[in-house]
Amino acid sequence: MKTNLIRIGAAMSALLVAAPAFAQDLTFWSWRQEDKAAYEQFIDTFEAANPGITVKFETFEAANYNTILSTALAGGTGPDVMMVRAYGGLENVAAAGYLEPLSFETVPALADFAPAALAAESVRADGVVYAVPFASQTQLVIYNKAIFDANGLEEPKSWDELVALSQKLKDAGVFPFANGTATAWQNETVTFGLGSSLMGKDFYNGLMSGETDFTDERFTGALAAVADVAAKYFPDGFIGLDYPSAQQLFASGMAGMFIGGSYELANFKGQNPDIELGVFAAPGKSAEDEKLVGLYFDGGYAANAAGANKEASIKFLNYLASKEFGQAFADTLSNISTVPGVSFNNPLLAEVNELNQHSIPYLMLAHFRFGEPSGSVLIQGEMQKLFAGETTPEAIGEALTTGLAAWYEPFKK
């Protein structure tokens, strides 16, 4: 009897050692409502490997997410872990002290992430990283392969070839592009998804070094070319065509091309599983010009600096920085994970990843959303006026340079 009691006592002691001291319930906030089911699968994997930690995934409407998150963090009721924006959107919450600083010691996998990805989730003043980057997005041209094949079309190598194939689609009774610009941010997408190669890396580098500004002819010339294509090859009344309607126009097979982000690919397949998609970087003026996509980092995963479950939160961030998670993210959500070493089993996603090797940053988001007025707000409003024939590319260049000079140091001189 005594021997049995000793054995039982020993077994109970072992169980007590193996079990966590107390359960930790993490809250995890996001604006990605459409990804809820996928994240719940990811969380199941994490919880199975980390008994005693549970994660509750909560989503909010994307347009109001930043305000909801900032208000909650300021009031001390924010989540343990949260998705945060990149660039200027990240700085707004990090600079206020709401986010836990990360390092290669606390999240070792970060040491292998691309510097540009880490920079998107850092505060410029000190270079401290505050979030694990989760995805990159690519602004390019998506096309319907069946429509291209039916009309004997190939991916264009020059701007003239892009114009010629657009005309051929129009002559065949097909909308060349599905895009509309009634939804303000689509003006920005169209501008850089179509015009990055025309602007070129030399312009981008000169802009960053302060050697030039937005009055540069390489920039204003690109705006003129984009506006000309829109006037001739976007749907009639495209200025009044909103984003969901434009998406539906393309997904239904009524248009040959759509200027947008790589994030559109899964959406179009979801709307029309039979659609066969292709992608290309909108070309420059000549076939010899480097074909560039607009690239940006979409956001990151951060921990609450004032959270009660910080140790568990950091453990969860380490999972979100792992190759295991990155691979599941890419496979499940058809997105370009920023985790190093992830392979892209979806051929279309692999093609996007190849296009990313020739890119410039998606300009206004990556560099000009850190102050007021925002470069995105300026370009969206000015391009809408250009599409309506109410301004000129040169006037836009002046408006951007003058407006951004309010806070962007190189333009103040």
Reported as a single tens digit per residue, the pLDDT across 100-126 is 999 999 999 999 999 999 999 999 999
**Fold match between domain 24-135+297-348 and domain 138-295+355-411:** yes
User: Pairing state of beta strands 175-177 and 81-84?
Assistant: unpaired
Query: Bridge partners of 296?
Result: 137
Are 301 and 322 spatial neighbours (Cβ–Cβ below 8 Å)? Answer: no
Contacts 24+ apart (CB under 8 A), 60-69: 60/29, 60/30, 60/31, 60/33, 61/31, 61/33, 62/31, 62/32, 62/33, 65/30, 65/31, 66/92, 69/29, 69/93
Q: Over the stretch 88-98, which tens digit does the pLDDT of each residue have? A: 999 999 999 99
Residue 309 DSSP SS3: coil
Residue 378 has pLDDT above 90, yes or no: yes
Are 316 and 297 spatial neighbours (Cβ–Cβ below 8 Å)? Answer: no
**Confidence bin at 409 (pLDDT 50/70/90):** very high
pLDDT (0 to 100) of residue 22: 54
CB atoms within 10 A of CB 49: 11
- Give me the residue label for tokens 């850092």: 122
Residue 7 has pLDDT above 90, yes or no: no
Distance of alpha carbon 410 from alpha carbon 407, whole angstroms: 9
CATH of domain 24-135+297-348: 3.40.190.10
Rounded to two decimals, the pTM is: 0.91
Residue 8 has pLDDT above 60, yes or no: no
Average pLDDT, the chain: 94
The architecture that CATH gives domain 138-295+355-411 is 3-Layer(aba) Sandwich (3.40)
Q: Over the stretch 274-292, which tens digit does the pLDDT of each residue have? A: 999 999 999 999 999 999 9
Could you tell me what percent of the chain has a pLDDT over 70?
94
Which of 6-15, 38-47, 193-202, 357-366 has the least mean pLDDT? Answer: 6-15
Nearest to 134 by CA among 309, 314, 296: 296
Residue 3 has pLDDT above 90, yes or no: no
Mean pLDDT of 240-258: 98
Structural domain spans, the chain:
24-135+297-348, 138-295+355-411
Residue 16 has pLDDT above 90, yes or no: no
Mean pLDDT of 33-56: 97
**Confidence bin at 413 (pLDDT 50/70/90):** confident
DSSP 232-257: HHSPTTGGG--HHHHHHHHHTTSEEE
